Amino acid sequence: MEIKIQCPAKINLTLKVTGKRPDGFHNIESIMQAISLFDYLTITAEPAEKFTINLSGTSDEIPYDEKNIVYKATKLFIEKTKINPCRINIYIEKNIPVAAGLAGGSTNAAGTLFGLNKLFSEPLNKQGLHELCASLGSDLNFCLEGGRQMTTGRGEILESLPFEEFYVSLIKPVNLGISAREAYTKFSVKEKIGQEKFVNDLEWAILDDYPELQTIKTLYPESVMSGSGSTYYVIGKEFAPAEGFWIKNNLTSIPYGVKVV
C-alpha cells in the first residue's frame, strides 16, 4: 500500500501571547493561514511479523529516527488504532525550511496521521485525528484543517475564518533557525519590562538578538515574522535576491490543509 501526502506551510497573520499556562506552554491568539509551500510524504505499508518504522528523505537538517515528530506521529497512530503489525516507510521531501516559524515539522506530523488514516481505511474519524494532533504539538490541528483559522489555547483550538486569496513572499536567513522554546522563553523575560507594538509578539521578543532579522526589518519595515521565526513575510510584494537569505516570492494563500496528491 502506498499514499502520497501534500503538507502545506503556514504563516501567522497575527500572533498575540495571552499568558502562561500551568502546563508550561503559553496561551495564544493567532490567525494562521496555509500557503502554497509544500513538503511531500510518501508513505508505504506492508505486512510484517512486527512493527518497524523507517524514515528517509531529502533534508540533512532533520533526524530520521525516533526524535522526528513524523516517527512520533506514526507510533502514536499505531498505538491508538491497534492495526496489524507492518513495516511502515515514510519518505520526506523537505521544501519547508527547518526551525523557520512555518510549521514544517507540524505539517509533516499532521500529514503522517492523515495519510496513515487514509492508508488503513480510516479507523479514526476527524475528531480522533484532532485528538492525536493536539497531543503531539500546538500547530498540528491547524495543519490538518488548513485554510485560515483563528487559533487559541496552545494553538490547537480552531475557529474557521473566511478565506482570502493573496500573494505572499518569504525571506529567511540561510543559517538561522529559532526554536519555539527560545522565542517563548525570551518573550517571558521581556514581558516584564513592557511591550512594543508588533503584529507578532514573538518578533518583538527576539528581534534585538539577531542582526539578520534586523536587516530584514530595516530593508522591509512592513514585513512580519511568522511564528517563532526566523522567516519573515510580506503580502502582495516580493523580496529582492540577497546573499545569505533564502527567498520564495509569489506564493499564494490556500483554502486547505494536508491532503492526498
CATH of the domain at 102: 3.30.230.10
**What is the CATH classification number for the domain harbouring 209?**
3.30.70.890
Both 6 and 103 in one domain: the answer is yes
pLDDT of residue 192: 60
Could you report the per-residue pLDDT of 200-218, keeping only the tens digit for each? 999 989 999 999 999 999 9
Give the three-class secondary structure for 201: helix
pLDDT of residue 209: 94
pLDDT of residue 190: 77
Both 79 and 11 in one domain: the answer is yes
* Residue 127 C-alpha from the chain's centroid: 20
pTM metric for this prediction: 0.95
Both 210 and 192 in one domain: the answer is yes
DSSP E strands in the chain: the ranges are: 2-20, 26-47, 52-57, 86-93, 148-152, 157-160, 167-173, 224-225, 232-235, 245-252, 259-260
Could you report the per-residue pLDDT of 94-136, keeping only the tens digit for each? 999 999 999 999 999 999 999 999 999 999 999 999 999 999 9
pLDDT of residue 193: 64
Q: Could you give the number of structural domains in the chain?
A: 2
Distance CA 229, CA 48 (A): 41
Both 157 and 171 in one domain: the answer is no
pLDDT of residue 163: 97
Rg (CA), the chain: 18
C-alpha cell at 140: 498540528
Could you report the per-residue pLDDT of 6-28, keeping only the tens digit for each? 999 999 999 999 888 888 788 99
The catalytic residue among 39, 139, 186, 201 is 139
Both 108 and 195 in one domain: the answer is no
Last residue of a domain, one of 120, 139, 161: 161
Answer yes or no: 139 catalytic: yes
Domain holding 240, by residue range, is 167-252
Both 94 and 198 in one domain: the answer is no
pLDDT of residue 78: 98
Last residue of a domain, one of 114, 144, 161: 161
Both 143 and 107 in one domain: the answer is yes
Last residue of a domain, one of 161, 187, 216: 161
Both 154 and 56 in one domain: the answer is yes
Distance CA 40, CA 55 (A): 13
How many distinct helices (H) and strands (E) make up the chain? 7, 11
Answer yes or no: 209 catalytic: no
Both 91 and 118 in one domain: the answer is yes
The catalytic residue among 10, 172, 186, 248 is 10
pLDDT of residue 194: 60
